[in-house]
Structure 1
Amino acid sequence: MNVLLDNLDVYIRGFGGTLGLFVVAAIGSLLLGTLIAGMRVSPVPVLRGFGTAYVTILRNTPLTLVLFFFAFAYPRLDLVDLSFFTLASIGLTLYTAAFVCEVVRSGINTVPVGQAEASRALGFTFTQILGQVVLPQAMRATVPPMTNVQIALLKNTTIAAGFAVFNAGGIYQTLSERGYNVLVGLLWVALFFVILVAPLTWMQRSLDARWGVSR
């Protein structure tokens, strides 16, 4: 307990950075991933090709390399000057969006094709069919896998600690510098991650129960 209380400022700052990265990347990846999923099921070949290429490249690229690019290669391009936090958020968003895309696409595939055909017969455009008919039903089937993707994102934020973004993944370094037991400190970190994951799990079960009854 002394390790936690004596370094409470470090834990607050570390998990504050973790939550900040998670919230920004979670919202960004949900929006971007859904957009790319729409491209992947689009009737336009160019959009389908772009969506497929994006998912193939990002899903098969280690997150460490993605963050490495934004931490070290991007600043050398002399483009817009961004903070390491912003660059880490962009990297996490782009990487996670590929997995969100596949989850949303799998949900879209659960919606009967006849509904899209009936909507098209009524004069709906592709965007209207996707946004008003397909996606609202598809999202019900994506809750469990989407929750898993977000839990993975929460844990992936710790990788940013190696690229000048202080978060929960860098707490052990500060504890080591201060001469505290690093193993005990990491056990506290693990406990706090369990606590952070609990609301996501509760939300998944709650939505599953509610939408299961409505179906």
Structure 2
Amino acid sequence: MTREDKIDITTKGLFLGLILFVSTIAFLLISKDMQNLKTVGTFLIPIVICYALVGMLIRWMVYRSALKKESNHLFSGVASYYWVCMIFTVISVCAYFIPQAIRYIVLINAAVLLLVWVLDYLYLKNIAKELNSGLKYHRVTLIEDLLARPQTEDMFMKEIEVYCNKNHLTLEVIKSGIPAKVKMDNTPYLVKLGQYYSMIGTIVYTLEFSSILSSAAGSKN
């Protein structure tokens, strides 16, 4: 885990914890539950710390599942959202056995967490669609999202190989490294490591495939 990853897990985890805490306060205000609002006020600091730790734990779990994607696909990609739904169902069942106020708070937090993940998924899907919308017409640049940042050049080249295998493309490595030069289906590409921020502020790393021939032609014009 790099220093950048640790900062990302901490800051985005704190932000996620803040969202969950605010959703709890909003629910108590809307329901006019003054008794539990007073309880929250009395134990404000411990409660805030707990939400912060929960947020960072969730971010860490997402990070770990991304690292294990090659050996275990049950917790990556679209499958992760099925797990979220399953966990949401389990929480709903367990909530039956806890006090009503806590039950509603847990359900509200679970619903907010699910909403955040769904919105983030739709946002990333839309971004990928926009970035690749001109590919079939121009063949200039292709963006492929990664679940985690490649830590070494070998891991970077492995991601390129995985992409080519997934899309049934032939691969010839001209120059290894970051960036790399490759041929996919006999078309030369410069492959860079890119990144952008998702809707909730998490860093999404990408492979950027730029057609070398197209770039050269564009510079001459």
TM norm structure 2: 0.30
Is the radius of gyration larger for structure 1 or structure 2?
A: 2
Q: Between Structure 1 and Structure 2, which shows a larger proportion of strand residues? A: 2
Query: Which structure is higher in helix share?
Result: 1
Which one scores higher on RCO, CA 8 angstroms, separation ≥ 6? 1
